[in-house]
Copies of this chain bind each other. A is one copy, B any other.
């Protein structure tokens, strides 16, 4: 099989916190390993104080779970730690995931506190997938979300992902490019991502190319001769307006024009973007190069892009590096994975995590989450979390409740709204039943799903806070558990 950069053959099983193993060994010694439990993966805060998150990384999570196994070398290593016994190693040697997983579809806009992934599995299995589940989803959702913000502010102008060199490791570059594409960039500079994910790769030249010739003009000329149909010249190696742009124009006239070709574009990577692009545009236009596009790529993010466009900068496309590939202004997506219920004698017993920080209190039970769409506008009104066996009926009035305060509620009237389940079955007792979507399909799906959201949710600052509410039954149960929990365990 052809090697790839991550994919199915790479064993990432040991991207695992050690406590998953110490806990699992304990369960194993107590004979608890086959107890059925329910875990929810959710998050509490939108990065950059934004209005929502783009859920991403599901495909890689599926591959990781399908490929999950402990190799002989893994077990040999664990044996060397002198913490576990041979019975446990025999168990690990045969380990594979046999549980059931529900997940939000990749590309879906999601909100704090709703279960994005729900795992129903044997206790040890549910525990051992925790770390790589979180790192996979946390990373890609973070970058997809950041890319979405940046692309939004470019207002229709193409945005390219150029960040590999500043990524946090190879996977940061590789999967980051994938996530950015889901978030809306038109392509990436990272070749491995182009290869593995069938997404566009882009790139022209660095300053070193220009420097490696005796003069800037010679460098531009050489490039134009090799790529006459796709000639984009980097104009800021020496002096953008005095040297770079005039040389680019000269190449357009002396090299490309005689071949019947046009200069496709110039790129600026430093300096005052607003001023330089306006001047460059004028110079290009005076030379009759109206169709020559201007790309900029200097430490851009959503705020700077908004600002330079407001200033009238003459920009046709953007290349964005470090601010996107590590989500620099908000580099952590804090997805968590919390126990929600345990089966005992065929009964599902809800579990709760109590905390003095109210935002750390969990929603108990095996739950389902739905998106409520207003029929008249076809816009999302709220998401609602319910126990898995609650029947919601569009033909009934539905009252939805704040996650903690029972006096905060809202009633939707029968016939005015639709109920759409947000999660779908991904693993059915260990078997992957989720279709393999192409990256383009995921990207388009994400665009479509965003159209269900009100504009106010897209604001960079102080976005409208979308409701994620509970059913009455779930809220009542939760409040009862909280009251009981305060009395001690």
A157 contacts the other chain (CB 8 A): no
Q: In this assembly, does A479 line the interface, its C-beta being within 8 Å of a C-beta of chain B?
A: no
> Which residues on B sit within 8 Å (CB–CB) of A15?
5, 164, 170, 173-174, 190-192
Q: Are B190 and A16 within 8 A (Cβ)?
A: yes
Is A123 an interface residue, CB under 8 A from the partner? yes
**Minimal Cβ-Cβ distance residue in B for A230:** B83
Whether A226 pairs with B357 at a CB distance below 8 angstroms is no
CB neighbours (8 Å) of A355 from chain B are 236, 270-271
B132 touches A170 (CB 8 A): yes
Give min CB distance, A159 to chain B, whole Å. 16
Closest to A123 in B: B212
> Can you list, as one digit per residue, whether each of A208-241 has a CB less than 8 Å from chain B (1) or not (0)?
1101100111000011001100000000111100
* Chain B nearest Cβ from A424, distance in angstroms: 24
Are A338 and B30 interface neighbours, CB within 8 A? no
A456 within 8 Å of B (CB atoms): no
Chain B residues whose CB sits within 8 angstroms of the CB of A127 once the complex forms: 206, 208
Contact of A242 among B12, B123, B488 (CB under 8 A): B488
| Residues B326 and A331 in contact, CB atoms below 8 Å apart | yes
The answer to whether A14 and B192 touch across the interface, beta carbons within 8 angstroms, is: yes
A55 located at the interface, meaning its Cβ lies under 8 Å from any Cβ of chain B in the complex: no
Q: Which of A21-29, A366-374, A413-421, A467-475 contacts B (4 or more CB under 8 A)?
A: A21-29
Q: How far is the CB of A349 from chain B (nearest CB, A)?
A: 9
Would B270 and A204 count as touching, CB distance under 8 A?
no
Q: Which residue of chain B lies nearest to A351 when distances are taken between CB atoms in the complex?
A: B211
- The reply on A203 being an interface residue by CB < 8 A is yes
Asked if A35 CB lies within 8 Å of chain B CBs, one says yes
Q: Do residues B322 and A326 form an inter-chain contact, with CB atoms below 8 A?
A: no
> Contact flags (1/0) for A323-336 with B, using CB distance below 8 Å?
00011100111110
Whether A3 contacts B73 in the complex (CB less than 8 A), given A15-B190, A212-B37, comes out as yes
Q: Which residues of B contact A14 (CB under 8 A)?
A: 5, 190-192, 195
**Segment from A134-142, A396-404, A447-455 that makes contact with B:** A134-142
**A182 on the interface (CB 8 Å rule)?**
no
A77 interface residue (CB < 8 Å to B): yes
Given contacts A242-B488, A488-B239, contact A326 B168 (CB under 8 A): yes
Q: Do B176 and A169 touch across chains, with their CB atoms under 8 A apart?
A: yes
Give the residues in chain B near A130, CB-CB below 8 Å: 165, 206
Q: Known contacts A26-B226, A72-B2, A212-B35; is A191 also within 8 Å of B331 by CB?
A: no
Question: In the bound complex, what is the Cα–Cα distance between A222 and B190 (angstroms)?
Answer: 49
Known contacts A172-B139, A207-B338, A326-B326; A191/B18 CB under 8 A: yes
**Least CB distance, A241 to chain B, in whole angstroms:** 10
CA distance A207 to B134 in the complex (A): 16
Is residue A248 contacting chain B, with contact meaning CB distance below 8 A?
Answer: no
Interface string of A119-158 (1 = CB under 8 A from B): 0000100010011101110110011000000000000000
Could you mark each residue 168-202 of chain A with 1 if its beta carbon is under 8 Å from any beta carbon of chain B, else 0? Answer: 11111111100000000000011110110000011
A57-95 residues at the B interface, CB under 8 angstroms: 71-74, 77-78, 81
Q: How close is A4's CB to chain B, nearest CB, in angstroms?
A: 8
Give the docked Cα–Cα distance between A206 and B16 (Å): 13
Q: Are A138 and B166 in touch, CB under 8 angstroms?
A: yes
A 336-386 contacts with B by CB, 8 A: 337-339, 342, 351-357, 360
Checking B142, B143, B209, B271 against A26 with a beta-carbon cut-off of 8 angstroms, the contacting residue is B209
Q: Does A32 contact B (CB under 8 A)?
A: yes
A72: chain B residues within 8 A (beta carbon): 2
Does A39 sit at the interface, judged by CB under 8 A? yes
In the complex with contacts A73-B3, A353-B211, A17-B191 CB distance below 8 A: yes
Evaluate contact between A22 and B342: CB separation under 8 angstroms. no
Besides the known contacts A5-B15, A21-B191, A243-B489, 14 further A-B residue pairs in the complex with CB atoms under 8 A apart: A2-B72, A14-B192, A17-B203, A18-B190, A81-B194, A81-B201, A131-B173, A135-B164, A138-B165, A208-B338, A211-B339, A212-B339, A212-B351, A270-B360
A/B interface sample: 24 pairs, CB < 8 A: A3-B73, A5-B10, A5-B11, A5-B15, A14-B192, A15-B191, A18-B202, A18-B203, A29-B226, A32-B212, A81-B194, A130-B206, A135-B164, A135-B166, A135-B170, A142-B168, A168-B168, A169-B174, A171-B172, A207-B338, A216-B489, A243-B488, A247-B489, A271-B357
The 10 closest A-B pairs by CB, nearest first: A169-B171, A18-B203, A19-B203, A134-B165, A14-B192, A2-B73, A331-B331, A208-B339, A168-B168, A171-B171
